Amino acid sequence: MLSHVGAAAAPEQQQTERRNPGGTFDAAWVDAQRVNRSAVERRVATLAGRRTVKKQWQAAWLLRAIQTIDLTTLAGDDTPGNVQRLCQKALHPVRTDLMEALGVPAGSIQAGAVCVYHALVADAVAALHGSSLPVAAVSTGFPAGQTPQPLKLREIEASVAAGAREIDIVISRRLVLTADWVALHAEVASFRQACGTAHMKTIIATGDLGTLANVSRASMVCMLGGADFIKTSTGKEATNATLAVSLVMLRAIREYHEQTGCRVGFKPAGGIRTARHALDWLILVKEELGDAWLQPHLLRLGASALLTDIERQLEHHVTGSYSAAFRHPMG
């Protein structure tokens, strides 16, 4: 069934792909970024009506969506217990009976990562011991980023030392709003250095940036700073991932790849709660960047509630009936 969207790349294949090393700040390249808002809005407004998948093809795409989910818990009442349950759900995201009915081998589908606060990184790492599933930690004063730079760097280093293999950092939005692109580049480059071998997802918090032009320029600066992924949102802003800002970011990724040969990943996050939403983002990525980006090492969906709806849709495909959400617990 996964052949409809291509098998996920093996871990060793992902490791051989060259990471984005970043580069020196290029003011001319950043200033040249332009966005036609009307064209962007027309493009995304027609997406759902033009592209749809049904039956076994929809099931295959939804299984791929599961493989790209950063299964996330970022609540004030998180405990080691609920993080352990989340990790087990990430390792076994679909009920065994549904996997058997779909003809998918047991253990062949897992989430992209488990994402937690730094305080729970060690618990997540312990719960995932023996698996290839990475732990991602939000960092740098998430979600607002309003902490001193030395503390941000220490937080990254502490999460990496605790076993996090991915770090989701937040940029200082004021640097975008004041067009201080040189300082933003330096900030992101310092975060990348602190990450070491851990992959860095750079959250630009699109809902706080004011304009699509700012989204495009911030995306380019972060990639020049060495971001392995650019990510739309923390999930805590008033406006999180939208197809419009995603289109702008995807086209920045495409331009960066054309100019440097480096593939940078993309992560929309916040507000992606239904299987239909997940399919919209996968289709947009496929149309803008191609099949190469439909792999977990280049595409992640930041979500907590999405998996439940996907599992309900898969049960509908198997049985013809929708089940209650409580039959598909998140963890």
What is the spatial distance between Cα 122 and Cα 261, in angstroms, rounded to a whole number?
A: 35
What span, in angstroms and rounded, lies between the C-alpha atoms of 127 and 83? 8
| H-run or E-run covering 289 | helix 275-289
In whole angstroms, what is the distance from residue 94 CA to residue 74 CA? 22
What DSSP character marks residue 324?
Answer: P
In the chain, the amino acid numbered 212 is L
Name the catalytic one among 267, 280, 286, 309. Answer: 267
Residue 287, sorted as left (phi over 0), alpha (psi -120 to 50) or beta, turns out to be alpha
Q: Are the C-beta atoms of 211 and 33 separated by less than 8 Å?
A: no
Which candidate in 201, 231, 280, 309 is catalytic? 231
The letter for the amino acid at 214 is N
Decide: helix, strand or coil at residue 113: strand
> Is 267 among the catalytic positions?
yes
Place of tokens 């970011």: 249
Active site residue 231: yes
Q: Which of 70, 168, 228, 309 is catalytic?
A: 168
Could you tell me if residue 210 is left (phi over 0), alpha (psi between -120 and 50 degrees) or otherwise beta?
A: left
Strands 229-231 and 199-203: parallel
Task: Give the E-state strand segments of 140-287 in sequence order.
Answer: 166-170, 199-203, 229-231, 265-267
Q: For the chain, what is the radius of gyration of the CA atoms?
A: 19
* Polymer length in residues for the chain: 331
Which amino acid does the sequence have at 296?
A: P
Alpha-carbon distance 305 to 301, whole Å? 11
Active site residue 236: no
For residue 303, what is the DSSP state? E
Catalytic sites, residue numbers:
168, 231, 267
